Amino acid sequence: MKIKNAVCYSFRLNDESLLAYVRLIGPLRRSGINIVNGIENNKIIINRVSETDMVIIQREFPKKVDSYNNIIKLAHKEGKPVVFDLDDLLFYLPENHPDRQIAVYYGPSLLPMFQALMEADLVSVSTPKLRDVLAQYHDNVVVLPNYFDDNLWRLTPPVLKNSSNGILTIGYMGTYSHKPDLEYITPVLLDLIKRYPQKIHFHFWGLQPPAELGSIPQVKWTPWYSDSYKNFAEFFQTQSADIFIAPLVDNLFNRCKSPIKFFEYSALGAPGVFSRLDPYEDIVTHGHDGLLASSLDEWTDCLIQLVENDELRFQLATNAQATIRENWLLSQNAFRREETFQSALDNISSNRKQNNGIVSIVKSINLQLFETFNKKEAEQLRTEAKVQQAEAKAQQAEAKAQQAEAKAQQAEAVLNAVYSSRSWWWTAPLRWIVGRLRIIRDQLR
C-alpha cells in the first residue's frame, strides 16, 4: 500500500516552527504525502490514526503520556507504522544549556520520549552522529537530513566587495538556546573590534549579545520572536552581512546538531566560519566553501583572513551555494522521505523487535509519573482557584468599602454646603429655641 496521508502529532505544527517546517511540512509536501494534523485547537485527536496510512510522533509530544499510549495502541492494532522523529539529542542536554538551566522545558518529556524511541517502528533523525547515539536503543534508526528548502529560500548571488575603504559586517543569527555558544566566541569578537575598530561592525539577530559586546557602538542587535519559520525566512532574506559565524561549544549535544545555519547563511551570499564539529565538518570543506575552526586562535585566524581578503570571501560564498545546489536542495531530495517511510510500512512486522521487558518498565514508570504530575497539577489548579476566590471576595469587600467611603464623602459635602450657607446662620436662633422647647416638653412628661 502506498502512503498518501500521514497524521503528525507535534506541538509545533500549527505555528509552523523551524522544527515542524524543516522536518515535516516542507519535506512531506514535496514528497506528495498529505499532512494530517493530530492536534487541533489544543485537542489531541487520537482517531486520526485510523484515517491515515502512518503516524509521525515528533520530539516531546510523548509527554502527553495517556494520549501517546492510546495512539500507539491504536496504530499497532490497525497495522499503521509509527515514526518517531527527533532532531536533537535532548537526552544529553548540557548542564549549561538554557533549556536545562533556566526553563527546564524538556525534563518531564525525556522518559516518555525514550519510551517512544523504543516503541516506534522507525526512528528518523537529522544527522549521522545522532543516529549513531540512538542506534544503541533501536535497530531501525535512519538519517533524514535537513535540506535547503528552495521553495522557502532563494540563493542570493554573492557580490565581490572592495572593503579597503568600507565597513564589513560580521553577522550571527540564533535563538536564546545558543547563549553558551555565543559566550564561547565573545573573546574573539572583542579582539577583532580592537584590531579593526574602524573596519568591522557586528550584527546579531535573535539572541541578545553578551553585555561586554552589546555596550560597544559597533554592535547592533535585532530581536526576532516569531515562531513561524516561514516568517523568519522571509525576514532574514531581507538582511545582509559580509561574514557569518556559527560557533558551537564542543559537546555531544552540539555534535549531533544539523548544519542548517550553513544553508541559511549561504542563502544570503556571504561566507561563514563554522566550528569544526560534526554538523559542519560533514558538509563544509575547509577553504573551499567555508572555514572551520576548532580553537579560539583558529577562530581569530579565520576571521582575520575573511576581513582582509575580499576575493576569499567571494569565492567561499560562491562555492557554498554550489555545494547546496549540487547536494542539498529539498526539491532534489524530498523523495528520500517517501522511500524511507514506505519502507517502514512495507516492513512493519520486522521493525518491531524492541525489548518488551524494558518497554514495559519504562511505560509503567511514565504512567506513574504522569499520574503524579496530574495530581500535582490538579492540586495546583484547586489552590489557584481558592486564591482567585479569595481575591475576588477581597475585591468585592474593597469595592463595598469604596462605595461606603464615596457615600460618606457625598454626605460630608452636603453638610459642608449646608453649614456654609446663609440660611444655616439665619435659622440658627430658631433651631436653638426649638431644641429648648423639646427639652422642656420631655421634662413635663
Interval 65-111: pLDDT, tens: 999 999 999 999 999 999 999 999 999 988 888 877 765 678 888 88
User: Which part of the chain has CATH 3.40.50.2000?
Assistant: 5-147+334-354, 168-328
Q: How confident is the model at residue 7 (pLDDT cuts 50, 70, 90)?
A: very high
How far is 355 from 340, CA to CA, in rounded Å? 23
Note the pLDDT of residue 99. 78
Mean pLDDT for the stretch of residues 126-138: 94
* More confident site: 320 or 32: 320
C-alpha cell at 313: 570571501
Asked which of 4-18, 284-298, 303-317 is least confident by mean pLDDT, the reply is 4-18
Note the pLDDT of residue 243. 98
| pTM, entire model | 0.80
- DSSP class per residue in 32-92: TPEEEESEETTEE-TTHHHHSSEEEEETTGGGSHHHHHHHHHHHHHTT--EEEEE-S-GGG
C-alpha cell at 300: 581569530
Note the pLDDT of residue 441. 65
Q: Whose grid coordinates read 502527553? A: 64
Residue 275, helix vs strand vs coil: strand
Note the pLDDT of residue 411. 65
Positive or negative, the Cα torsion across 238, 244, 245, 246? positive
Q: How confident is the model at residue 340 (pLDDT cuts 50, 70, 90)?
A: confident
* More confident site: 100 or 286: 286
How far is 184 from 97, CA to CA, in rounded Å? 13
Helix (H) or strand (E) holding 308: helix 296-308
Note the pLDDT of residue 326. 97
pLDDT higher than 90, residue 378: no
Residue 181, helix vs strand vs coil: helix
Note the pLDDT of residue 236. 96
Which superfamily does CATH assign the domain made up of 5-147+334-354 to?
Glycogen Phosphorylase B; (3.40.50.2000)
CATH number of 168-328: 3.40.50.2000
256 contacts 144 by C-beta, under 8 angstroms: no
Q: How confident is the model at residue 168 (pLDDT cuts 50, 70, 90)?
A: very high
Note the pLDDT of residue 350. 55
Percent of the chain's residues with pLDDT above 70: 83
Q: How confident is the model at residue 403 (pLDDT cuts 50, 70, 90)?
A: confident
Q: How confident is the model at residue 135 (pLDDT cuts 50, 70, 90)?
A: very high
pLDDT higher than 80, residue 445: no
Asked which of 122-131, 296-305, 402-411 is least confident by mean pLDDT, the reply is 402-411
Whole-angstrom CA distances from 388 to 374, 378, 380, 402 are 21, 15, 12, 21
Mean pLDDT for the stretch of residues 340-365: 67
- Residue 163 CA to chain centroid, in angstroms? 37
Q: How confident is the model at residue 428 (pLDDT cuts 50, 70, 90)?
A: low
Q: Which of 101-110, 164-173, 182-191, 332-341 has the highest mean pLDDT?
A: 182-191
Mean pLDDT for the stretch of residues 120-125: 94
185 contacts 247 by C-beta, under 8 angstroms: yes
The rounded mean pLDDT for the chain is 87
Note the pLDDT of residue 357. 58
Note the pLDDT of residue 141. 93
Positive or negative, the Cα torsion across 434, 436, 439, 440? negative
pLDDT higher than 60, residue 355: no
- What pLDDT digit, counting tens, does each position of 153-167 carry? 999 999 999 888 789
How far is 314 from 295, CA to CA, in rounded Å? 24
Whole-angstrom CA distances from 299 to 291, 294, 335 are 9, 7, 38
Note the pLDDT of residue 139. 87
Asked which of 192-196, 220-224, 380-384 is least confident by mean pLDDT, the reply is 380-384
Note the pLDDT of residue 344. 72
Quick one: the chain helix, strand, coil %, rounded to 5?
Answer: 55, 15, 30
200 contacts 192 by C-beta, under 8 angstroms: yes
Question: Residue 163: CB partners within 8 Å, gap ≥ 6?
Answer: 199, 242, 307, 310
